[in-house]
Amino acid sequence: MRTSPQDWAASTVVPGPGAGTLARFGPVVLLVGSTDPDVVRPYLDHAATVAANGGQGRQLVRGYAMLLSTAADDSPGFAALAAHDTGLAVFVDGDVTVTVDDQVVRGADSLAWAERLVPWPVEHVSVALPGATVPDAASPYRLGDGVVPAGSLLVVDPASAGPTTPSVPLPDESLVSRISEVEELQATEAHPPPAPQGDEASPPPSIQVVPPAVPAPGRPVPPPYEPEHVDFQSVLLDDLDDDEFEPLPIVEDPSQVGPARAQVEVAGVYCKNRHFNDPRQLFCAVCGINMVQQTPVLVNGQRPPLGVVVLDDGSVFQLDGPYLLGRDPDNDERVRSGGFRGLPVIDTSHQVSRVHARLELRGWDVVLVDNHSTNGTFVHVPRTVDWVRMPPGGELVLVQGTRVRIGHRTLAFNTHAGASGA
């Protein structure tokens, strides 16, 4: 019987056979309907990130919803579980079945994904891919932490747990190799070599696979950052903590908001409905009308916002001006002078620099620039396989769905602009 997040974190997972991948990162449990490392990697990455930030169900749900919303390919079907203060958070996508006591949650029953918050206490918890059989509690196999092939799982109390180390055979040599690679990279990150100084500093390789970040066993993890402004509606969030945050004050005098963002003029074109657009777009970003059926006339006009960035905790920032990203950007002179806005990125891994990176608006493009950060800025561009590390001081023009990793935190770039003709 589990009656709290602490009870859930102490539970043990029993793997069952099947053609999927099972991961346990502390309080986060994930079952994905694929054994392809390239397909599974984004889901493992987010599960490990949530675990590193305390294993909160709120962050789990928001992050996977953002992942599915921006993904270029269909999901292989997966289920993820994590504890919230008031119950067990369940996220299911595709043909996967989660059973929590008398509640059955199937992703196939939803047009998008399914999520639930099952209040404590929770006793029976099982997950199964299509055709897989839920294992018996008497099974000799146990998964403490790690990644193994499996098609189902059963969560049992520690009292009924056998061995606490993964004892499920790993027939997939590529998956075994991937796990070994991740462990080696994590060990390197835990004890990084001292940074070279002066002219002797040599740039790191420009491409590097990002391993899932897992907190060291027994290390206390501070509570995750919870912003006071969110823009994500879901069953889980509607049921939680409505009185947790005080309402923001109503500002009657616009001058109280701070200095107005200076209007920037750029060359663009108007659609037939007089909406100002990037001249490279085939469709109007506001009304969606086809821009090809009219003769483009290039004129100067005030640039509209170029999209938003969405953090893994649901925070949304409109791109109507440049931002500095980092642990403490607000104390930077560029923010104090009003040239940039600060976008704080709070991360318990201590891998985020004071000013880690910046987002600049150049013409109609949003450009990510690494600020020669100590631990690097990583990006994942849609329809590519791996995360890549930007060179120190490197730049990247963001496209719709690009994800950025700073420390153990991720953000996504979204824009409503139509398909580019460039």
Output the CA torsion sign for 54, 60, 61, 63: positive
Fold type of domain 304-422: Tumour Suppressor Smad4 (2.60.200)
Model confidence pTM above 0.85: no
Instruction: Give the least confident one: 51-60, 72-81, 140-149, 298-307.
Output: 51-60
**Main-chain dihedrals φ then ψ at residue 7, nearest 5 degrees:** -65, -40
Query: Which whole number is the average pLDDT over 92-106?
Result: 95
Largest CA distance in the chain: 74
Mean model confidence pLDDT for the chain: 79
Mean per-residue pLDDT, 86-96: 95
Report the candidate in 267, 266, 283, 284 with the shortest Cα–Cα distance to residue 275. 284
User: What number is the average pLDDT over the span 311-338?
Assistant: 93
SS3 89: strand
Given a cut of 70, is residue 179 above it in pLDDT?
Answer: no
Tens digit of each residue's pLDDT (9 = 90 or more) over 189-219: 445 545 444 444 444 444 343 444 444 444 4
**65 falls in which pLDDT band (50, 70, 90)?**
confident
CB 49 within 8 A of CB 64: no
Q: In percent, how much of the chain has pLDDT > 70?
A: 73
Q: How many angstroms separate the first and last alpha carbons of the chain? A: 58
Which segments of the chain belong to CATH 2.60.200.20? 304-422
| pLDDT for the residue numbered 242 | 38
Q: Residue 349 to residues 54, 162, 244: CA-CA distances in angstroms?
A: 11, 32, 25
Contact residues for 96 (Cβ-Cβ < 8 A; gap 6+):
31, 33, 77, 78, 79, 106, 107, 108, 127, 128, 129, 130
How large is the average pLDDT for residues 279-305?
85
Find out whether 89 and 70 touch, Cβ atoms under 8 Å.
no
d(CA 212, CA 222): 19
What three-state secondary structure class fits 63?
helix
Q: Is the pLDDT of residue 271 over 60?
A: yes
**Count of CB atoms situated within 10 Å of the CB of 298:** 8
Q: Which residue has the higher pLDDT, 295 or 375?
A: 375
For residue 406, the cross-strand partners are: 377, 409
For residue range 18-36, list pLDDT tens digits in order.
Answer: 999 999 999 999 999 999 9
Question: Within 10 A of 304 (CB to CB), how many other CB atoms are there?
Answer: 18
Residues 250, 75: Cα–Cα separation, whole Å = 41
pLDDT given for residue 257 in this prediction: 39
